[in-house]
Amino acid sequence: MRIDVVTIFPDYLKVLDLSLIGKAADRGPLDLHVHDLRDHAHDRHRTVDDTPLGGGAGMVMKPDVWGEALDEALAVDTPGAGRQVLIVPTPSGEVFTQRTAEDLAGADSLVFACGRYEGIDARVPEHYASCGVEVRELSIGDYVLNGGEVAAVVMIEAIVRLLPGVLGNPESLVEESHGAAGLLEYPSHTRPTRWRGHEVDPVLLSGDHSRIARARRSQAITRTVERRPDMIRALNPADLDREDRAVLASQGWAVPTGVDHPVPVRLRNATTHDADALAVLAARTFPDACGNVIDPESLNRHIATTLVPELFATWADDDRVDLVVAELLEPPPVRDCHLKGEAGESIGPALVGYAAVLREEPDSDGGSPRGIDPRPSCVRPRSGEIVGELSKVYIDSTMRGSGLTPALMGTVMRQAASHGTGLLWLGTHITNKRAQKAYKRAGFRQVGTRTYNVGGQDAHDVVMTRRTGEGL
């Protein structure tokens, strides 16, 4: 690649003689030339600027001087010149990103026109664009510099490091920030493993490369959520695996079915004001658990008599119940009659999932939490261990595979543990293999079965347990 830089301060560009860029220029991948704009000014003062037409502060760089300089640097109308790009650094240009660098790294030659003062006469880029030259006016950020030289150095380094043979280890480009993954790079560490009280993640010392890769990927997602949520919104769902989605959901982003990017979601404790919405959500989601084996009449009877607003209001008010809801903070960019109006209009935040743990603790009258199920005999707590029933974990069908289920479970189980629950148990229909797999991934193991009444019809459940001290 050939790069020409036109400036009134050639010494600014001497920094390009250093490090990898300088080596690239010496070895051959880069052919670098720096030109003094004043060589094309023909008065005795070598004047390159004049007052702005129409008045105003500052000075504007003259088009005739720039035209002569760029005519020399650009191969206009030269057959076989390849792809040539004129780059004008300016705070009013499009933002230079890693994608821009990747695109420009594919050019044959780049010419940087480094303006000063109030910039270069606007007719200069217009002229060369009209002559068929590819012109890019680029900004490196939302701030103003004294001139384009610093911006040019930034862009040149970002572009040249992508050229084959410039980096000693090409793999360095694969996982770096703003790379193909669309994430910030994970934190890096080296020896010593303990420094001033800070220790590295033990997984880095495990030698298990798949676990290390997974941990680093999760760290990259978390860092990007914290620092650059705009990059999270731009992620392609097709590039996210199940664990990626779970990490995103735990960090406040979900990937509903059919969307083209993640959307913000909030996990929070339910209040009594959520009771009506929770009843509606329960009526939509409960059939997913056993609707294929329970007759519709019994199913509807159970929903109408059990999953009522009064139940959820009671749970929200009961200290023995941990009730967590998942709330989309904006409608997903797909039409869903549950989450949008009939015409597709936004109706604001919407509940799309909930989870509940009910602790076996009597109140002052000796009563149990409303709706708690009798503990099956196969659930055997240790002496003095507080038992909690993971009574509900339901999400909208549009949120399946979004990562929201493990995020909901993890949140409600951590809350239950903080409130003293030592052993969790649940029942899920024996035919619901999808739910059983999800619970197994969350650390639950089958210990037996039970019969559960749904609207007057017996349902047969698998009973599973886990202890809260096991890696929550």
Give me the residue label for tokens 């229909």: 429
| pLDDT value at residue 49 | 96
Question: Are 263 and 399 contacting, i.e. CB atoms less than 8 angstroms apart?
Answer: no
Cα atoms in the 13 Å half-sphere on the side-chain side of 421 = 30
Query: What are the CA-CA distances from residue 406 to residues 94, 238, 246, 399, 439 (Å)?
Result: 40, 19, 6, 12, 9
Q: Find all residues with CB under 8 Å of 330, minimum gap 6, and list them.
A: 263, 264, 346, 349
In 9-102, DSSP assigns E strands to 31-36, 49-50, 60-61, 84-95
Domain ranges of the chain: 2-173, 263-467
Please give the Cα distance from 390 to 375 (Å, whole number): 11
Alpha-carbon distances, residue 270 vs 68, 465, 468 (angstroms): 70, 24, 22
Give which of 191, 172, 182 is closest to 220, Cα–Cα. Answer: 182
Three-state DSSP class for residue 446: strand
Predicted confidence at residue 343, as pLDDT, reads: 41
Q: Which helix (H) or strand (E) holds 449?
A: strand 445-454
What was the pLDDT predicted at 346? 42
Residue 2 host element (H or E)? strand 2-7
φ/ψ (deg, to 5) at 407:
-65, -45
Decide yes or no: CATH 3.30.430.20 for domain 2-173: no
Residue 229: other Cβ atoms inside 10 A:
15
Rounded to 10 deg, the angle between the 275-285 and 309-317 helix axes is: 120
Q: What does the pLDDT read at residue 291?
A: 63
CATH number given to 263-467 = 3.40.630.30
What pLDDT shows up at residue 36?
98
- Report pLDDT for 172: 57
How far is residue 82 from each of residues 76, 120, 133, measured CA to CA in Å?
11, 26, 11
Report the pLDDT value the prediction gives residue 273, as an integer from 0 to 100.
97
The residue assigned the tokens 């504007």 is 60
What is the full per-residue pLDDT of the chain (472 aa) written as tens digits? 999 999 999 999 999 998 888 888 888 789 999 999 999 999 999 999 999 999 999 999 999 999 999 999 997 767 777 999 999 999 999 999 999 999 999 999 999 999 999 999 999 999 999 999 999 999 999 999 999 999 999 999 999 999 998 886 565 555 556 666 789 989 999 999 999 999 999 999 999 999 999 999 999 999 999 999 999 999 999 999 999 999 999 999 999 988 999 999 999 999 999 999 999 999 999 998 776 788 999 999 999 999 999 999 999 999 999 999 999 998 776 545 455 544 444 445 799 999 999 999 999 999 999 999 999 999 999 999 999 999 999 999 999 999 999 999 999 999 999 999 999 999 999 999 999 999 999 999 999 999 989 989 999 999 999 999 887 7
